[in-house]
Amino acid sequence: MPEPELASTAAGSDAGAAAAGPVPAVASVWSGSTLRELFSYPITGPLFALVVIVLVFSLTTSTFLNAGNLSLILQQSVVVGTLALGQTLVILVSGIDLANGAIMVLATVVIGSYAAHGDPVTALLLGLVVCVAAASLNGLAVTRFRLPPFIATLGMFTILTAAARLYSQSRSFPINSDLITVLGTGPSIGTITITYGSMLWIVLTIVLGYALTQSAWGVRVYAIGNSPIAARLNGINVNAMIFGVYGLAGVFYAFGAWQALGRTPIADPSGYQIANLDSITAVVIGGTSLFGGRGGVAGTFVGALIVVVLKNGLTQAGIDSLYQQIATGFLVMLAVGVDQFLGRGRRA
């Protein structure tokens, strides 16, 4: 019975994305406790975790809970958050992209070096081309050459990291163009600054969330993640869809590169070395299943905030930053553990 299952999955993520709406059909299948029903929404767990973490920091650190710091957290989240949108797409079709940070960094140095002498609009377009081309290569390796996504993108990660260093000769490029750095600016009241980059991140999340939950394309993405065989039997061109998903993720990496240059107006080939892992962490903590087909971008948005809040809060609390890494690690394991638990429940 592939058809009803597809429908219910899409509906479930719809409700999750909107954090409201009717109880999805899939939840009513379980006659368990209401708590369990609540946690059947992929976003409940991450939101709960975020609230707890924010509460703890607010109670222990006097400077954490003020509007200025909260707007700062939003600014610190945009790069990983935007990368994580692309990562969510890839993970929803049971893939993974270890190369997204390297793709973004390559784009930033291409943009930075071109903009040093050339037109900023062309520079940004070049960045977009770099990202979509590199991400499509990932897609090609996964669909056409049947490489496991982990291996294909691990290879791309290594290649592109070196390529960015070679291309830039390990130099960094200061950015002087207002257009390229515009995402780091925005209206401010007192200590609060809501950058255009923060707004863009929210808009991108809403647009992608809408497409995933309200369009036929979105239903297909979830269908492939749930069962590629069932999807194929339902007439979906699975390979073409997966290739498209990887390429589309590249568009988000390009936005990530623009965000990165807005935040830090220097294109630095040694920057964002662990952005790939941070983006995966954000997606997983956000409740998207590494097995594909479950989760969504609203969770990822919250997941990215959790990653950054931990860094920001623990630095402010004066706690050794190695503990921050330990805390993030535990959260990832907890998130995957919950996913496993719920996954078993659904299959039962």
Where does this chain bind another protein (CB under 8 A)? 61, 63-64, 68-69, 72, 75-76, 165-166, 169-172, 193, 260, 263-266, 268-273, 311-312, 315-316, 318, 321-322
Residue 284 CB, shortest distance to another protein, in Å, is 21
Residue 171 CB, shortest distance to another protein, in Å, is 5
Residue 127 CB, shortest distance to another protein, in Å, is 17
Q: Which is nearer to another protein, 78 or 152 (CB)?
A: 78
Q: Is 186 left (phi over 0), alpha (psi -120 to 50) or beta?
A: left
CA 346 to chain centre: 25
Residue 42 corresponds to which tokens in the numbers above? 């992929």
Q: Which is nearer to another protein, 24 or 271 (CB)?
A: 271
Residues in contact with 338: Cβ distance below 8 Å, sequence separation at least 6, in sequence order: 39, 45, 287
Q: Which is nearer to another protein, 27 or 78 (CB)?
A: 78
Q: Which is nearer to another protein, 34 or 321 (CB)?
A: 321
Minimal CA–CA distance to 105: which of 246, 251, 257? 257
Strand 188-189 and strand 173-174: the pairing is unpaired
Q: Which is nearer to another protein, 132 or 175 (CB)?
A: 175
39 to each of 135, 271, 317, 343, how far by Cα in Å?
33, 37, 31, 12
Q: Which is nearer to another protein, 218 or 313 (CB)?
A: 313
The answer to whether 316 touches 63, Cβ cutoff 8 Å, is yes
Q: Vertex 24, ends 23 and 29: CA angle to 5°?
A: 105
Residue 96 CB, shortest distance to another protein, in Å, is 21
Distance in angstroms (rounded) separating the CA atoms of residues 334 and 193: 33
Residues in contact with 103: Cβ distance below 8 Å, sequence separation at least 6, in sequence order: 130, 131, 134, 135, 156, 160, 250, 253
Residue 314 CB, shortest distance to another protein, in Å, is 9
Residue 168 CB, shortest distance to another protein, in Å, is 10
Residue 21 CB, shortest distance to another protein, in Å, is 36
Q: Which is nearer to another protein, 27 or 115 (CB)?
A: 115
Distance in angstroms (rounded) separating the CA atoms of residues 239 and 139: 9
